[in-house]
């Protein structure tokens, strides 16, 4: 099966060029000017922008959080991803404390196999540390799971600092990379109990009990441990200026630090928690919380300057009904936002079209860098001969509006309701085949991707 995408603007992380792209079987067969069509089906892409399929390195599908399960499972979440141009997600396998990594992985395989519309991989969560788990790290790498996750907050998942340090040393030896959720758990717990004792139980207390300095403190704390262990680390969902300063200080010391942020930290501010309608405010509860407008500017600036390496979604969706469990107590609201479907159009609209970043920058943080960091470059993340035929055909002239009524995410709201987009996704190709056409999902045949070590 051959398809010739004729005359689009092909984007890479380093620039753009007008070219034809020939897809043959699962791969990109050729990129160049005036390619002969032969027996290929020709698709006119004049006026369209061609990105490599977007990679979302941070999703939570089918995850149990605080007694409930995310609204999106692998089937619905990955369809929504694909509809939004994301041809690969890396989700978090999360063993329960006491389980082996293999047991956790097996559960995540069962949740995802045969049900995932886009390609996918797993990070492995380390929430326990012992000799057995230490030995299992090599097995994970052998099975294509080369990235890991640790939490500095959430009692169900955080591990003691000494164990975290040992895990860092072990990952260094094995060649794995770890992303860390950085928030100072001890002080957060104190602020939460102070707020509860004072009867301040509404979502307005959420950002006040998880303030930016407590994220930055944890970032600095982790980076000093990583300095001692002499190992690179990823700061996942970085939200604020103070945390960026910690990263800059570590980089000045010569440390390798990778930074991820998310659309909600770039586009929303903490006034969402002051909505007098309790449930409206509850929709935005996530951790770390949404920050101040000044933090948004700092993040855009850092994105432009290549200080931020990836933009992922931390998609962790709950319906309004699920969020209602916390209607009298903000600490019981399941934390997380939907977003996997809208990252590409949001970044194009508020980044590229607004003049904050270039299309090449967008490609760097959505495609090339995640592909390198998560070990699937150059199979993914670039439109080049030999790479997978994962292509987003973006039509910059066909604007749209984001609404919950028109989304595949399995939730009854979107944090971006009513936002106008500059352009929209016309088609998505997954491994050479048309998978989405103007919002209609046609193909659901995602594959588990065996990943190699970090190449960024
Ligand atoms: N933050 C959330 O809000 N939800 C899921 C996990 C996380 O880190
Ligand atoms: Zn997360």
Average the pLDDT over 16-21 and give the result: 98
Q: Which of 126, 149, 143, 139 is nearest to 57 (CA)?
A: 149
131 preceded by cis ω (within 30°)?
no
Exposure letters 137-156 (e unless 16+ CB within 10 A, then b): beebbebebbbbbbbbbeee
Instruction: Name the residue of 68, 181, 235, 316 to mutate for ligand 1: max ligand atoms within 8 A of Cβ.
Output: 316
Instruction: Report whether pLDDT(193) > 90.
Output: yes
Residue 1 binned pLDDT confidence (cut-offs 50, 70, 90): confident
Q: Does any ligand 1 atom lie closer than 6 A to the CB of residue 104?
A: no
Burial per residue of 214-235, b for 16 or more beta-carbon CB atoms within 10 angstroms, e otherwise: bbbbbbbbbbebbeebebbbbb
Vertex 143 angle, CA 150 and 341, to 5°:
60
Give CA 268 to chain center in angstroms.
Answer: 17
Q: Is 335 in the pocket of ligand 1 (CB under 6 A)?
A: yes
Ligand 2 centre to CA of 123 (Å) is 11
State residue 195's pLDDT score: 98
User: Do the Cβ atoms of 136 and 171 come closer than 8 Å?
Assistant: no
Please report, to the nearest 10 degrees, the dihedral formed by the alpha carbons of residues 95, 97, 99, 100 taken in order. 70
Q: What does pTM read for this prediction? A: 0.98
Identify whether the C-beta of residue 227 lies closer than 8 Å to the C-beta of residue 255.
yes
3-state secondary structure 166-234: HHHHHHHHHCCEEEEECCCHHHHHHHHHHHHHCCCCCCCHHHHHCCHHHHHHHHHHHHHHHHHHCCCEE
Residue 408 pLDDT more than 90? yes
Cβ neighbours, 10 Å, residue 360: 15
Confidence band of 444 (pLDDT split at 50, 70, 90) = confident
CA 336 – ligand 1 centroid, Å:
5
Q: Calculate how far, in angstroms, residue 180's C-alpha sits from the geometric centre of ligand 1.
A: 12
What's the pLDDT at 25?
Answer: 95
Pair 327, 282: CB distance under 8 Å: yes
Q: Cα torsion for 192, 194, 199, 205, to the nearest 10°?
A: -40
Phi, psi of 16 (to 5 degrees): -140, 155
Report the percent of the chain where pLDDT is more than 90.
98
Instruction: Please check whether residue 72 is in contact with residue 337, taking contact to mean a CB–CB distance below 8 angstroms.
Output: no
Q: How far is the CA of 370 from the centre of ligand 1 (A)?
A: 19
Summary mean pLDDT of the chain: 98
Confidence band of 251 (pLDDT split at 50, 70, 90): very high
Mean pLDDT, to the nearest integer, of 292-306? 98
pLDDT tens per residue across span 130-167:
999 999 999 999 999 999 999 999 998 999 999 999 99
Q: What is the largest CA-CA distance in the chain?
A: 74
pLDDT score for 66: 84
| pLDDT the model gives residue 207 | 98
Q: Where are the alpha helices (DSSP H) in 254-376?
A: 263-267, 278-282, 293-304, 320-323, 343-347, 359-363, 369-373
- What six digits make up the tokens of 156? 């169900």
In this prediction, residues 23-29 reach a mean pLDDT of 97
- Per-residue pLDDT averaged across 309-320, rounded? 98
Residue whose CA lies nearest to ligand 1 atom number 8: 287
- Rounded Cα distance, 366 and 392, in Å: 12
Enclosing H/E stretch for 394: strand 391-395
Ligand 1 binding pocket mutation candidate from 68, 286, 288 (most atoms within 8 A of CB): 286
154 CA to centre of ligand 1 in angstroms: 10
- Residue 236 pLDDT > 90, yes or no? yes
* Of 71, 75, 65, residue with least CA distance to 120: 75
pLDDT of residue 443: 83
Tokens of 69: 């399960």
Q: What is the pLDDT of residue 453?
A: 98
CA distances from 232 to 158, 364, 418 (A): 20, 20, 40
Give the pLDDT confidence score for residue 430 in this predicted structure. Answer: 98
Backbone dihedral region for residue 34 (phi beyond 0: left; psi -120 to 50: alpha; all else: beta): left
Q: Which ligand 1 atom sits closest to the C-alpha of 285?
A: 3
Mean pLDDT within 440-444: 91
Cα dihedral: 162, 310, 406, 418 (round 10): 100
Q: Which of 18, 22, 17 is nearest to 4 (CA)?
A: 22
């Amino acid at each position: 099966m051959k398809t010739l995408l004729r005359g689009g603007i092909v984007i890479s992380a380093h620039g753009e060029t007008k070219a034809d792209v020939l897809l043959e079987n699962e791969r990109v067969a050729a990129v160049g000017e005036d390619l002969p069509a032969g027996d290929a089906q020709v698709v006119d892409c004049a006026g369209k922008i061609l990105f490599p399929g977007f990679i979302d390195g941070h999703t939570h599908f089918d995850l149990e959080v605080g007694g409930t399960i995310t609204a999106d499972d692998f089937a619905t979440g990955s369809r929504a991803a694909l509809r939004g141009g994301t041809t690969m997600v890396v989700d978090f396998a999360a063993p329960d404390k006491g389980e082996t990594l293999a047991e956790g992985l097996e559960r995540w395989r069962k949740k995802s196999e045969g049900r995932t519309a886009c390609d996918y991989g797993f990070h492995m969560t380390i929430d326990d540390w012992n000799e057995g788990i230490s030995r299992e790290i090599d097995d994970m790498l052998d099975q294509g799971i080369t990235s890991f996750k640790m939490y500095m907050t959430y009692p169900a998942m955080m591990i003691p600092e000494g164990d975290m340090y040992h895990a860092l040393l072990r990952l260094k030896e094995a060649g794995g990379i770890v992303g860390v959720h950085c928030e100072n758990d001890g002080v957060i717990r104190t602020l939460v109990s102070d707020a509860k004792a004072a009867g301040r139980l509404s979502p307005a207390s959420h950002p006040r009990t998880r303030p930016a300095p407590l994220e930055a403190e944890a970032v600095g704390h982790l980076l000093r441990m990583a300095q001692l262990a002499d190992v690179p680390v990823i700061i996942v969902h970085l939200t604020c200026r103070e945390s960026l300063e910690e990263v800059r200080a570590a980089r000045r010391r010569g440390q390798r630090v990778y930074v991820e942020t998310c659309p909600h930290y770039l586009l929303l501010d903490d006034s969402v928690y002051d909505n007098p309608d309790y449930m409206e405010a509850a929709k935005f509860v996530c951790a770390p919380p949404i920050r101040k407008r000044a933090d948004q500017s700092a993040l855009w600036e850092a994105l432009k300057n290549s200080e931020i390496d990836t933009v992922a979604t931390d998609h962790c969706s709950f319906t309004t009904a699920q969020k209602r469990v916390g209607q009298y107590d903000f600490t019981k609201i399941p934390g997380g936002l939907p977003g996997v479907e809208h990252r590409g159009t949001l970044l194009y609209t508020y980044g590229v079209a607004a003049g904050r970043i270039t299309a090449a920058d967008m490609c760097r943080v959505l495609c090339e860098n995640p592909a390198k960091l998560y070990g699937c470059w150059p199979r993914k993340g670039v439109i080049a001969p030999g790479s997978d035929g994962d292509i987003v055909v973006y039509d910059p002239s066909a604007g749209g509006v984001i609404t919950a009524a028109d989304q595949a995410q399995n939730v009854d709201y979107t944090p971006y309701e009513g936002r106008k987009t500059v352009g929209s996704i016309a088609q998505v190709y997954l491994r050479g085949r048309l998978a989405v056409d103007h919002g209609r999902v046609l193909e659901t045949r995602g594959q588990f991707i065996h990943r190699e070590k970090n190449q960024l």
